[in-house]
Structure formats: C-alpha cells, structure tokens
C-alpha cells in the first residue's frame, strides 16, 4: 500500500514540545515533596491507570472482577470465559504469505494499525535467534527487505478485514535477529527490537545486531534497504515507546550479569521524528541515557527488586551512556557502581496515560539483590520524573513471569504470561488486582511432561472489539472476541 492509500488516522503531524526534561530531578525537591505527600508511597495526583495501594493484589475471581472462569477448549488451543471465542489468523508452517511461502514461526510482540476500509494491519515480530538453518520456518529473505541474510528473524504484516477475516500476510523486514518486543510510534510505524547483540562473525552472523529497526505497515517501499537506528544503542533490546509530546524514546533491556537497564533517548535539538526520519539520524545523534532511581529519603536504589510494596514511588535521574554502540563493553557494564538502577528481565512496555508502563518479569536465581518476586509492572511518569510500582506478583499469585503488555481500552492492562507451568493472558485492574482472561491449552511437550508456550503480543484492534495475541510456539496469531466490559477500578 502506498502513501496515497494511508488512512487519515495516521496523518496527524508529530509536533513534540520543547524538551523540558533535560535537567535532572532534584533529590531535595523529590524528598520534600514525598514527605508532604506520603513518604514516597503515593504522590498526590499521580497519573496512571493502575492507581494502587499496599496489599492491592488479590487472587483472580473476586466478585465483579474479570470475565468469569475459563472454559476448556475441546480443540485444545485456548480456554476462554463464557461468551468469548477465538479465531486462528495465522499459523506457522500452515498459512502462507502472499509470496506463497509459509508463515514464519515464533510470533512475538505485535502492533496494530488502521488499514484500508477499516481493516487492521498487524506488524508481527518473529523471535528467531541464530542462523537460518536452525529454524524450519524463518522469515523469508524477500528481495530488498533483508538486513543480514544469515539471520532468521524479522517482521511480517498481517491484514485482517473489518469483519475479522484474514486478507493477506507479507514480509516487512527480514534478516534481523531475535525480534522480541518493540513499539508503535505516533506517526504510524512499528519499531522492532533485536534481543540479541551478536557481532558480525559471531554465531554465523554477517552483520552486527542488537539494534532497533523501523517498519512501515502501509508502504512496502519504505521498508526497503533496512537500516538500524544506531542512535538508540546496540544492546539486547526488548521494547521501545515514544512520548508523543516530548519526542523522547524509552527502551527496556532484557539481560543479566549484571541486570539490564531502563533507557531513554533524548533527540537532538530541532529533530522532528516522523515517517522516514529515523533513518536519517547520525549514529551518535541525541543522547542515550540510563535511569538512576532514589527513594523518598534521597537514597540511591541499586535494583528495582528493592521495591516490595505496590505504590512505591522512586524519583528518577538519568546517566549518559558513554559508548552506545558497545564497541568495548556492553552498555549495562559501562557504568560505575551507584550510577544506574538495574532490573532483572526488563521486558514488555506500552505507552498510555501519559507515561510508560513496563515489566520486570521476575527477580530470583540470585541475580537481583532485593527481595525475590514473580513479576512487577512499573509506570514511568515523564512529567513528574517518577517511577511507581503498580503490580507485584508473588508466590501466592496465580500468575508469574509477565512479559508483553498492553493498555486495555476497558481499563487496566492486559499482560502476556511467560512463566512456569500453564501460560495465561491476564488482566490487571486500575486497582492492581489480577484476573485470568485466557489459558494456552496447546501442549507442545508430552503427556508425561506437558509444556505450554508463552503468550505474546497482546494488542487490541483499532475498533477495540478484538484482542489479538499469539502463542509463540509454534507461532499462532489469534483474534479473541467477546463481551468486553470496563473493569472495576478498585
């Protein structure tokens, strides 16, 4: 589809305000404000869907919460509440691209865009790591859309009619590695992130990896000659979001030894991001920074696992990354002790309510210095320059290992589980309570040792009637419909 066919909904000009966040937040101001408003537990007037209080998390099934118990699926794919149904849109190795080649496997994060005649255009990541020969269904090497012919990953675009019928699927980018999460932009494109930082010559790769690439779901010609956005750094990327007012980019890092970081990229003065402009950036354009948190007493916080109570609020400073292309050392290793705040498995992220919701999947295995947990959801408020713990999962919870995340038009969040045992899509209400929404019943193991793949890529259709999500292995894109309703805030 060419520029002339783009829907009006993505034609709004992107006009970031003046960058007003370049000065660090004063610890003194934060401490004084916290003392007045509750010692850092909840700042008065804080913005965010998931307004929480200590002890807010509760087990699923509480009256008025969620959509009721899940009903087993006779087809062994997806258990859903009464009144809900699903449709398989693509299935790796079974459905085909418009080229006649099979749909690639290992679906991951997904962005939804309004297409022609009120259709949906979904950009689907395919998290395929390492050489192509290791995968039965890699992303096809479509001419002109290949970054590294040795790599197996990439993105496809799936068009779904307004009535929910599959229309077509095609390659948007190929030859990238481990396309895990990403994020939509205010100008109607998708940023796909490589969760792998192999250099050329490592693991069979012929080019450096660990970058963010931009994908245009509307114009295939705009995707030709893929170029990494090197200004956003080279590391094991997970997700990225864009502040539509300030023009800042926020990025998560899924890595360990040491744990990963929460980053922001401040664009250079006068830069106006928009369709096609990211590929014009110089490699060192703007400033890439990592978050450094401190509590209401002004004390440095070394790791997000230190927070154990929902409603905990940290102030945030930013430290500049010395070498964003990691020529000598990975980004997360370039900071002296006390300079940054880390988190184990910083993964999915979504922009909503004026800030960035992001996930810390768990803290255990001796990799984190604070208290073990089975998952956190944080909210970064760029206006207040604060980070608030919205959800924390522990041993008493049904769910563990939150990963991809989206803000629900019906209140709260929808979260994909990548944990132990059974895998769910689950919701978190405005009050921070959780409820089950779907359960993966596709056993890819054996009867004696069952195994269930993680959920990935939850995102609502542009008309808000359908929730798209994938079962990563073997790679099945699902469309879920039902009697959606607004969830209670408490």
Structure tokens at 217: 């779901």
Question: Cα separation of 152 and 127, whole Å?
Answer: 9
pLDDT at 45 over 60: no
- Note the pLDDT of residue 58: 35
- Note the pLDDT of residue 11: 36
- Note the pLDDT of residue 247: 95
Q: What is the mean pLDDT of the chain?
A: 89
- Note the pLDDT of residue 43: 29
Structure tokens at 278: 């990211």
Mean pLDDT calculated for residue range 265-292: 96
For the chain, domain boundaries? 24-88+201-481, 93-200
Spatial contact of 274 and 217, defined as CB atoms under 8 Å apart: no
Q: In what order do the strands lie in the sheet with 153-160?
A: 107-114, 120-126, 153-160, 166-176
Q: How far is CA 15 from the centre of its chain?
A: 24
Question: Cα separation of 244 and 172, whole Å?
Answer: 24
93 contact partners, CB below 8 Å, separation of at least 6: 102, 103, 105, 136, 137, 474, 475
194 contact partners, CB below 8 Å, separation of at least 6: 153, 176, 177, 178, 179, 180, 209, 210, 211, 212, 213, 236, 237
Instruction: Note the pLDDT tens digit of each residue in 329-341.
Output: 999 999 999 999 9
Spatial contact of 210 and 235, defined as CB atoms under 8 Å apart: yes
Spatial contact of 394 and 374, defined as CB atoms under 8 Å apart: yes
- Note the pLDDT of residue 261: 98
- Note the pLDDT of residue 488: 85
DSSP letters spanning 388-401: EEEEEE-TTSS---
- Numbers of helices and strands, H then E, in the chain: 1, 28
pLDDT at 59 over 60: no
Mean pLDDT calculated for residue range 202-220: 97
Q: Is the peptide bond before 391 cis (omega within 30 degrees of 0)?
A: no
Compute the C-alpha angle 381/387/391, nearest 5°: 110
- Note the pLDDT of residue 32: 58
Question: Cα separation of 61 and 68, whole Å?
Answer: 7
**Looking at 40-146, which runs of residues are DSSP E strands?**
70-71, 78-81, 85-91, 107-114, 120-126
Instruction: Note the pLDDT tens digit of each residue in 5-37.
Output: 343 333 344 455 444 444 555 565 666 565 544
Mean pLDDT calculated for residue range 363-368: 89
Instruction: Note the pLDDT tens digit of each residue in 381-408.
Output: 999 999 999 999 986 778 999 999 999 9
Can you name the CATH fold of 24-88+201-481?
Neuraminidase (2.120.10)
pLDDT at 60 over 90: no
φ and ψ of 157, to 5 deg: -110, 130
Handedness of CA 105, 109, 110, 111 (dihedral sign): negative
Instruction: Note the pLDDT tens digit of each residue in 338-352.
Output: 999 999 999 999 999
- Note the pLDDT of residue 71: 98
Question: Cα separation of 334 and 222, whole Å?
Answer: 35
Identify which has the larger pLDDT, 364 or 277. 277
φ and ψ of 250, to 5 deg: -120, 140
- Note the pLDDT of residue 259: 96
Instruction: Note the pLDDT tens digit of each residue in 91-128.
Output: 999 999 999 999 999 999 999 999 999 999 999 999 99
Question: Cα separation of 374 and 400, whole Å?
Answer: 5
Instruction: Note the pLDDT tens digit of each residue in 396-447.
Output: 778 999 999 999 999 999 999 999 999 999 999 876 789 999 999 999 999 9
How would residue 184 be classed by pLDDT, with cut points 50, 70 and 90? very high
45 contact partners, CB below 8 Å, separation of at least 6: none
Radius of gyration (C-alpha) of the chain in whole angstroms = 21
Region of poorest pLDDT, from 54-68, 133-147, 268-282, 318-332: 54-68
- Note the pLDDT of residue 366: 86
- Of the chain, the percentage scoring pLDDT greater than 90 comes to 83
Identify which has the larger pLDDT, 40 or 398. 398
Question: Cα separation of 195 and 472, whole Å?
Answer: 15
Instruction: Note the pLDDT tens digit of each residue in 443-472.
Output: 999 999 999 999 999 999 999 999 999 999
């Amino acid at each position: 589809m060419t520029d002339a066919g783009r829907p009006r909904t993505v034609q709004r000009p992107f006009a970031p305000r003046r960058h007003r966040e370049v000065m660090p937040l004063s610890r003194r101001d934060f401490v004084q404000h916290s003392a007045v408003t509750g010692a850092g537990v909840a700042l008065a007037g804080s913005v965010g869907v998931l307004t929480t209080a200590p002890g807010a998390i509760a087990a699923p099934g509480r009256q008025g919460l969620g959509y009721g118990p899940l009903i087993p699926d006779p087809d062994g794919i997806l258990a859903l509440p009464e009144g809900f149904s699903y449709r398989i849109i693509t299935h790796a190795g079974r459905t085909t691209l418009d080229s006649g080649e099979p749909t690639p496997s290992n679906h991951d994060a997904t962005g939804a865009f309004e297409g022609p005649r009120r259709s949906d255009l979904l950009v689907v990541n395919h998290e395929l790591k390492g050489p192509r020969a290791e995968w039965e269904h890699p992303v096809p090497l479509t001419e002109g859309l290949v970054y590294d012919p040795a790599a197996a990953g990439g993105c496809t675009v799936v068009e779904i009619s307004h009535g929910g019928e599959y229309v077509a699927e095609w390659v948007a980018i190929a030859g990238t590695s481990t396309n895990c999460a990403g994020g939509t932009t205010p100008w109607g494109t998708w940023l796909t992130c490589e969760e792998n930082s192999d250099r050329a010559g490592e693991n069979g790769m012929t080019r450096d990896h660990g970058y963010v690439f931009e994908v245009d779901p509307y114009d295939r010609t705009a995707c030709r000659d893929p170029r990494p956005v090197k200004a956003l750094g080279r590391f094991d990327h997970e997700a990225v979001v864009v502040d539509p007012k300030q023009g800042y980019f926020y990025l998560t890092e899924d890595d360990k030894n040491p744990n990963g970081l929460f980053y922001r990229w401040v664009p250079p003065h006068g830069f106006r991001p928009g369709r096609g402009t990211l590929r014009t950036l110089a490699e060192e354009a703007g400033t890439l920074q990592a978050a450094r948190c401190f509590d209401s007493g002004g004390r440095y916080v070394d790791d997000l696992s230190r927070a154990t109570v929902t409603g905990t609020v940290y102030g945030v400073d930013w430290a500049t990354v010395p070498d964003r292309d990691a020529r000598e050392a990975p980004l997360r290793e370039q900071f002296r002790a006390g300079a940054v705040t880390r988190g184990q498995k910083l993964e999915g992220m979504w922009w909503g309510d004026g800030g960035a919701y992001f996930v810390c999947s768990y803290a255990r295995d001796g990799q984190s210095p604070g208290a073990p947990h089975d998952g956190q959801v944080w909210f970064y408020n760029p206006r207040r320059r604060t980070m608030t713990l919205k959800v924390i999962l522990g041993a008493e919870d049904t769910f563990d290992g939150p990963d991809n995340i989206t803000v629900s038009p019906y209140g709260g969040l929808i979260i994909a589980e990548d944990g132990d045992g059974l895998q769910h899509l689950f919701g978190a209400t405005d009050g921070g309570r959780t409820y089950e929404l779907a359960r993966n019943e596709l056993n890819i193991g054996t009867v004696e040792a069952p195994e269930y793949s993680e959920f990935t890529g939850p995102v609502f259709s542009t008309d808000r009637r359908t929730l798209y999500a994938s079962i990563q292995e073997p790679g099945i894109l699902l469309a879920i419909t039902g009697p959606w309703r607004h969830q209670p805030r408490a």
